[in-house]
Each structure stands twice: as structure tokens, then as C-alpha cells.
Structure 1
Amino acid sequence: MKIIQGLIQGTAEWLEHRSNARNASDAPAVMGASSYKTRDQLMSERATGITPEVDAATQARFDRGHAIEEAARQIAERIVGDDLFPVIGTTDDGYLSASFDGLTMCCTTAWECKSWNERKAASVRAGEVPDTDYWQVIQQLVVSGAERVLYMITDGTDEKCVWMWVELPAGATEQLFAAWQQFDADSAGYTPAPVEAPAVGKTMDSLPALSVRVEGRVIASNLDVFREHAMAVIEGINTDLQTDQDFADAETAVKWCRDVESRLDGAEQSILGQTADIDAAVRTVRDVKEATRQKRLALERLVKAQKEALRQKIALDARGSWQHHAEVIAVALGHRVQLNLGRPDIDGAMKGKRTIASLRDAASTAVAQWKVSASLTHQAAAKALAMIDDAGRPELFRDLNELVTKDAEALEHIIAGRIAEAERQEQERQAAERERIRVEEEARARHLAEREAQAQAQAQAQAQAQAQAQASMVEPAPHPQQVREPAAGEAMMKLGDINALIAPLAINADGLAQLGFQPAGQERAARLYRASDFQAICNAMAQRLAQACKQREAA
């Protein structure tokens, strides 16, 4: 906290500071909780710089409050167990301000003193700070950084003194700052409405006294004058209702019409009581009475309909305001999540309000309070999205709608847990992949070893064949092998399979027969040979090639 040195409460310098500061005493109005000032009234004062004049009665109340405060200081210091000093300070950035009735030297404990009020005292006895003072105390805690505030209701004596300790609840700081920021945003585009005195219906023109004398016939009357005047007044009644003044005039006119109808009923009865043949007089009375009745009924219906229309327009304007704010939040979050922002209870706020001004204030305050809550939800969601984005694993966090509702600590655990699990699964996958590669490499090595062994066997066979060829330049052709039927399940080879294996060399069935290998079977046009004879076939072919080579050398 930054303490403003040399500033004394009640001085002109203090008033100048308050006119430009976001004061703790104004926080309840900003939150729409003050019983002394509406949010719109505070906004008008901040926009125009015009504040209500302090009359003698108000000044006397202020002076009494200061006297009570000084008398109660000793009581408060006894409860706190330390000296209390009046202090004026702001948050370190200067955004919020507070004037303290008392603050300990180390700024750990603050004191707020309110003059005796039985209703507030009852709240304190119930362990609750009255709504109209709650946010003032919260702002004092935020500005000072104090651990607690001693909230006291007293007349300066021990006999009438109730108090309670107040500490800063979780989330209150963010809510307070969001409320002031929303107030600043609304104030930036605020245009004060013309200040109007409370609407009072104008007095209707008095109709001339209706005079009729009859003695079997109308002897004398002012019916013509009365009719002309009455009809002029009735025609002049305004039915275009837009302002509180229009509604007040209309309601007065309705009362006037009822009175005229009543008086005309009396006149009609008087006339009828004097004679039975007064047609002209009765028609005049009835005409004026009917015109008055119709105007009254029309006004009653119009007042009701127009009030409802204006009420609906105010509600629709408020609805448009909060829906626009919700869309702004959605755009700010890139439409990545669907936040459960709820909606302001505009109808509930407007219930019981009679004037246009009070309806507008109730609707705008309800929307402002909703915007504060929505902005806090938006800020929390934005922080959550930033934490998720910083993790760099978007594929692990597809349930964003649920994740952004978690508090920071819970979300941090969720992010760490999912990343750890993903890394564990990745390590298992990599281990499995390495095992697969190892098995494949071992199988490949075995296959190569087998092929190498086969190659060595073939080489040995070729060497033996060459040795036999050298021992005898010409060897008798091998005796034809006896054809035997293949055993059940014995592996067979087609002639084409043999040629594929010895390519680019080739041999046919006659050649194989000359080498002593007869077909062991036939599949359609293909001749089949025992797969077990393939090694012998290769050895025989090698011997024949070696023999041919020797024959060429001998020639």
C-alpha cells in the first residue's frame, strides 16, 4: 500500500483526492449493493463531477459520525490491543483507494466504524457485514493488505457497540477489480441523462360548476358552456406516454376522469329527480360522462400497455448488452470453449420498480454485476488456456470446456498427470518397437546364417563333384532313378520353380530325366518333382558341367 502523507479526511484536499479516486466507500455502489446510492447515480457523479450538495442536516450527520468515531477509537484500540491511526492510502499501482478510520502501525489490522443502526447491528450479531458496507470493507483489505478488519457499529459507548472481525475471502480481490474495471468501461461511454424532478401529475383544469334548474322543464342551465369546456379538456389529455412525467400526468388524468364521472352521475340523478322530461339536459350530461369514461378507460389501458412496452424495451436493451459482452468474451477466447456464463436476472431486478429511471438502473446494475462475474470466468478460462497451450501437447487436452472450469492448482496437476501418462505410454511404445526390431533382426540373422550354410553345403558338393570329375574324365550316366509315388504331405516343386532357382541357367524334363530325376507327379500341365531332391539335382548338374569342362580341356 502507498500511504498518502499529509492528507486529512474532511479537508478540501481530501475531497479533491476522492473526486478522482476509486474509493472504498463507493465500492458498494459499484457492486450494486449500496442502499445510499445506485450504480447509475455514482456513474453520473463521476462523469459530470457534480455531487449532491451537503445540506445542514447531512453535515450534522457527518459531524456526529466523526464524533462517534473519535469516542469509539479507545474501544477499538482496546479490542485490537494496539494504537489505531487514521490513514488514507492506495494500492501500489494507485488504482484503488481507501480512507481508514484506523490502521495499526504495521498495517496488519484495520478498523471501520459505523454509527449505531439497529438493522446493521442485527446483521453483525448474526455474524454478517451488512450488504451496504461489505464491499467497502473488502476494498480496505485489498488496499491495505491487512490481515483483518475490525468492523464496528456503535454510538461511541460500550453499551451500544457490536463488532466482528472480517478477513479477505478467496476470490474477492479478483471480483472487486473486475467490478471496478467494468465500471470504468461503462463510464467511458456514459452519457448522463437529463436530470428530472420526480414526476408529479399536473393538475387538471377544473370544469365549471354544473348548474341545472328544472321545474318540469329546464328553466336555466350552463350545459352548453359546461359541455364545450369539458370536451376541450378531455381532448387535451396527452396519450403519447414516453417519460415518467407523461405517466404521472396520465395517472392524474385517470383520477380526474373518475371524479368527473362521479360528479356527473350525481348531476344526472339530481336532474332526473326534478323532472322526467329533461332529455336535452340528460343527453348532455351523459355525453360528457361517456366521453370522460372513454378517455379514462383509454388512458388506463394506455398507461398499462405503454409501461409494459417501455419495460420490455429496457429489458431488451439490457439483454442486448449482456449478449454482446458474451460474444466479446467468446471472440477473445477464439471460440475455443463454450463457457457457462449464465445470464443476468433482469426481470427479477426490475420487479417492484415503478419509474423508468428505477427500471433502467435496476436492469443496468443487474447486467453490470453479470458482466463482472462473466469477466472473472473469462479471465480464469484465458489463464487455463494459456497453461494448456504452454504444455505444448494439444492432443492431450481436447476436453477444454471442462478443463477451463478447474482452478489453477487442479489444472496444473491434470496437465502434469496427462503429460506423464503420455510419456509413459510413448516409452512403452518405443520399447515395444525396439523389441519388434530386435526380433526381426534376429530372424533376419538366422535366415542369413541358414542361407550361408546352404551356400557352404553347395560349395562342398561342387568341390566333391569336381574331385570325382578329375578322378574320371568320363563318368557313366547316372542310372535312372526308380519312380516312386510321393509320400503324403511331401513337399513338391514344379519344373518352373527349379528353373527360377537356377536362373540364368535352365533345364527341361528330358534333361532332368537324363540326370536321373523322373517326375514324381503332375499338376495339370506342370510336372512335379520332390523338393527333397533339389540338392541332388543341383549336384548332378554341377557334376555334368564340371565333366563338360574337362572334356573341353581334353579336346
Structure 2
Amino acid sequence: EAILAGWKRFAEDLANYTPRPDEYEFVGVAPDRLPALHVAVSGRILASNIAEWRDQTLEILAGIPRDLHTDQDFANAEETIKWAKDALDRIVVVKDAVLSQMPDVEQMFRSLDDIGEALGWTVKDLDGLVKVRKDNIRLEMVQKAAESVRAHYDALAQELGAYAPTMPSALLAELGASIKGTRTAKAAAAKLDSAVAQAKIAADKEANRLRTAQRLFADAAARVGVDLWPDGPTLAKTMDEDALLGVIARRVNAHRSQGSRPTAKASKTLTLDAICARIAPLGITKAGLAQLGFAPLPDGGYLEADFPKICAALVATLQSAAKDEVADAA
């Protein structure tokens, strides 16, 4: 059933297919390349204990405990923080002192810092804009997909009226979840196409079930001559076919029991076997009689007075089947 529904949906989508442009797929172009960055330096440091200072500092840092339990541990940690900050300040002082003795190097570093800051802000700004645009693109794609499903439900509503299926309230969220993890717009579009197809298949399946229910109520109303199911759409959306047949039979029996008091002849009953014997070589089951609108009495029998109506309902059913066969052949 699922395979047939999928092929039916594919055929309908193919018949209505128009090529979709890659409206969200673009190849980026970066600014012109910058010239190669190079620096020529001539000079050397005359005296320094930086290597020893580094080794001693790293050794101390490696031995600092991280497992703190007692108040003494926390007090030691606070003093260590102050010690580390003081060391950081001394590093900055030394770097500034060195650069002050080499004005050209200091100017170069300041220029590099200015360029680095400008580049950093540009990356941060553009990255935020790109992220917002990508999020908006995905939202647009999900909304277009939802509109396609909504149009399908609208078409079913025009056909079935009150018996039309109701679009799931969580549809937008489900479509959004279907593209979670996709990296490109093309991949997201493929996922959404599949999700839309599945949503339409589910709508068609529910519509077929509701058409059957609508036909059951209409056929029963035609046999009885009155519509006893004003709440048919609600019943159809909450009950399966067997339950609907039971409702139809109960209301038909109740309607008939409210008519004129049966005569002595009318009060006579027939068993299912007796009915089958009368209509031989044809036959019928209790479920078949219920579908025709005739439910059994408490004792399991059927009213003698209803036998002509049963025959008329059988004739009408056979004539309808014959007309359908002729129409199909044509």
C-alpha cells in the first residue's frame, strides 16, 4: 500500500514538475589577493634570561594543584592567581621595553595589530551576516514547502468539504526538522521534497478513508430516506470503518423503531439462515446486512417486515455494481 501510494504521488508530482533554479546556490568570490607579507630584520638580543625564566615558570605551572578541597587549598589558589597576573604584567613590560629600543619594530607591530583588529572585526561581522542569511534561506525553503502541502489540503477541502482531512498543526516544525544537519541549500531542498511528498501521501491516505466514510453515510441515508448522521464528519475523523457501520446500524434501527407500531406479522423475526435461504443462490453475512443498514435484534434475528427492504437494498447494490462495471469498461 505504501509503495503504491508513493508511485501515485510520484506520478502526480512528475506531471506538475517544473525545473527549479538553484536560487540559493552561488559560488563565492573573495577580494583580490593581498601582496605577500614580508619583514627583513637585522639585529640581535645582547643578553636575556628568557629561556631560564620560561622553563622555571612552566615547571611551577605544571605543579600547581587543581584538586581543591580545604580552605587552605582555595587560599593558595587565590595567591597563585595574583602571582600569575603579576607574571603576565611583567611579560608585557619586558615586551614594551624591548620594542621601545627598536622603534621600527614597534611601529611594525602596531601596524600588524591594527590590520589584525580590522580583519577580525570584518570576519566577525560577515560571519554573523552569513549565518543570518543562511537561517533565513532555510526558513524560506520550509515555508515554501509548507505552502505546497497546504495547497494540497486546500484542494482536498474543495472536494470533500466537511469530510476533508485536517492539516497537522506540527507540519511546519516537522518540515524544519527534516532539513536538520544539511549543509547546503541543494541538500535541504532534496530533504524537503521528500518530506512534502510524504506529507501529501499521508493526506491522500486520510482522504481516502474519509471518502469511504462519506460514501457509507450517503448510501445509508439514501436507503433510509433521511440523513441520520449530521455529525458524520466528526465521526468519520474519529472512528474506523467497523465502528462507523455500527453507528449506522444503531441509528437506522432506532429510527425504524420510532415509526408505527409493528403489526403481529411485522413483529415476526427471521434468522440469518432463513434470509439466506430466501435469497438463494445468493448469500449475505451479518456484517453485510449491517452495511446495508440492518442490524440484528437482541435475539439475533431480523424483522420479517424488513425482508422486502433487505431485498431492495441488495438489488440497488447489484445495480450500482453493474453500472460501475459498465462505466469502467467504457
TM-score normalised per structure 1: 0.32
Residue 126 of structure 2 is aligned to residue 299 of structure 1 = yes
Structure possessing the higher radius of gyration over alpha carbons = 1
After superposition, where does 1:116-515 map in structure 2 within 5 Å?
173=1, 175-193=2-20, 206-213=33-40, 272=99, 275-276=102-103, 281-334=108-161, 336-337=162-163, 339-342=165-168, 343-344=170-171, 345-392=174-221, 395-405=227-237, 406-428=239-261
Distance 2:178 2:9 in 1: 19
Say which is worse superposed, 418-427 or 391-400, in terms of deviation.
391-400
Shift of 1:186: 1.5
Aligned residues: 203
Q: Retained in 1: the 8 A contact 2:141–2:189?
A: yes
User: Cα RMSD over matched residues?
Assistant: 3.5
* 1:317 partner SS: helix
TM-score normalised per structure 2: 0.52
Output one character per residue of 1:209-267: Cα deviation in whole Å (capped at 9) or x when no partner. 32334679xxxxxxxxxxxxxxxxxxxxxxxxxxxxxxxxxxxxxxxxxxxxxxxxxxx
Distance 1:286 1:376 in 2: 65
Q: Retained in 1: the 8 A contact 2:179–2:191?
A: yes
Distance 2:118 2:133 in 1: 22
AA in 2 matched with 1:365 = S
Distance 1:421 1:356 in 2: 60
Q: 1:407 to 1:322 in 2, by over 3 A?
A: same
What are structure 2's unaligned runs of at least 5 residues? Answer: 44-94, 264-330
Higher RCO (C-alpha under 8 Å, 6+ residues apart): 2
Distance 1:176 1:408 in 2: 23
Q: 1:274 to 1:201 in 2, by over 3 A?
A: farther
Distance 2:181 2:104 in 1: 52
Q: Retained in 1: the 8 A contact 2:179–2:192?
A: yes
What are structure 1's unaligned runs of at least 5 residues? Answer: 1-172, 217-267, 432-555
AA in 2 matched with 1:298 = D
AA in 1 matched with 2:236 = V
Q: Retained in 2: the 8 A contact 1:337–1:401?
A: yes
Identity value in percent: 31
Q: Retained in 1: the 8 A contact 2:164–2:210?
A: no
Q: 1:274 to 1:381 in 2, by over 3 A?
A: farther
Distance 1:414 1:199 in 2: 60
